[in-house]
Amino acid sequence: MGEFTMSAGAGKAEISLSGVLPHDGFDVQRHGLYARALLIEGEGERACILSLEVTSIAPDLLLRLREEVKDATGCDGPHAWVVPTHTFSVPHVRTPGHLADDTERARNERYRSALLDAARAALGQAVDSRRPVRLSAGEGSCPVNVSRDVETPAGWWVGTNPQGYADHAMPVVVLNDARGEALAVLATADVQSSVLDKSRDSEGKRVVSGDLFGFAAQTLERERGCVALLLPGAAGDQAPSEKAVRTDFAADGSSSTVDAHELAYRMLHKQGRTLAEALAKAMGACVPLEGGQVFARAFDVELPAQERADFHSLAPRRCYEFVSADLASTSVYLLRLGEMSLVGIQPEVASAFGSAVRAAQPGRVLLATLVNGGQKYLPAPDAYQKVTYEAMNSGFAAGAHERLLANIIAALNAA
């Protein structure tokens, strides 16, 4: 397996919600939330990945978190990735001017401070725990994702569609120390962490949870003693196979919503444990990587754009007029760890996009989305013809998928 030419450290810290709830539509906490950090060094360069169990990260908070990464690790620019797990079961940090009263503003500020405190603690642990490591990589199979684009009598909408396109490839990178023990595991899967999305318990309360990725990560961490960073993959058109809240459509196009309430927790536990078991199996099958280089770069791509529909007007429909807009810029982050290429992008892309990126270097590419900012959906080409939720709720026009993909593959081939 060669010499230890790289070193790494990992950390994990709980995000305290003391004095925060109820806030932003959430009432009580069901599961703990965590910040996780991974610091990797090789041949004079270092890179850091900071993951937080939140839905998304607003620009001003992202700037502060990137400052925390730089202060703690020295990593900046393309060497620093800040990524949400995209759980839908947590409050958002809101702009204070958009909140109703001083009580809500105080809770919002406590929550914001808690995220920064947890990030700082996880980063500190990553710095302090650095030791020589060997990298291994493999590709497991995610057992819980299905297409979420469902054709209804009124048009395409969001649901669970086992017959739709879903790539189950799950790239995994394991960092083992000199004792052969896993220090950290890094993985992506094409599935949203949204089993509990919009669900309420039988008393009408909405619970806070790290949801699918959070449950799977904590299960794996308890069993393997490592820090598990699960990042969102090409999940823009994907969902867990079982969700707490579903919408049923009648033949006349009318709809009704069904909530599983407390039974949703069984759905989460079952799928979270299944995902953790699949990750553990993939870890066991990983093969050592050669090389000890850490290399990072970023570049921007101009993509065709369109006007996004008003969110509250979104509904299934057969006809829709897409209105062109000026070009939209998006950033691509490339992080090379020995033989492994990590690709980070900001939009939520379709599973087919992830398939094409991974095919450029089979077994040696990990694609993560929502890296250093989010840009909503960048749909697959056929989404515009179907008029899917993602196509209407996107600022990217038809042709963006192909152009971004071509630029990423060209960059991977040039690396």
- pLDDT tens-digit map of 314-354: 999 999 999 999 999 999 999 999 999 999 999 999 999 99
pLDDT at 2: 45
Dist. CA 353–CA 373, nearest whole Å: 19
Encode pLDDT of 75-122 as tens digits: 999 999 999 999 999 999 998 888 889 999 999 999 999 999 999 999
What is the DSSP code (8-state) at residue 242?
S
- In this prediction, residue 4 has a pLDDT band, given cuts at 50, 70 and 90, of confident
pLDDT at 331: 98
- In this prediction, residue 1 has a pLDDT band, given cuts at 50, 70 and 90, of very low
pLDDT at 44: 85
Encode pLDDT of 206-258 as tens digits: 999 999 999 999 999 999 999 999 999 999 999 999 999 999 888 888 889 99
Range 21-26 average pLDDT:
96
What is the DSSP code (8-state) at residue 163?
T
Whether residue 172 is predicted with pLDDT greater than 90 in this model: the reply is yes
Residue type, 387: V
Range 399-415 average pLDDT:
96
> Which of 248 and 130 is assigned the larger pLDDT?
130
Range 141-152 average pLDDT:
97
Q: What phi, psi does 377 have (nearest 5°)? A: -90, 145
As a whole number, the mean pLDDT across the chain is 96
Which tokens go with 393? 């709720």
Range 394-413 average pLDDT:
98
150 in Cβ contact with 158 (< 8 Å): yes
| Residue carrying the six token digits 């599983």 | 260
Dist. CA 400–CA 390, nearest whole Å: 13
Give the dihedral sign, CA 365/366/369/370.
negative
**Opening angle at CA 224, ends 223 and 229, nearest 5:** 105
pLDDT at 3: 64
75 in Cβ contact with 105 (< 8 Å): no
pLDDT at 249: 86
Which tokens go with 27? 């009432």
Which tokens go with 233? 């993959």
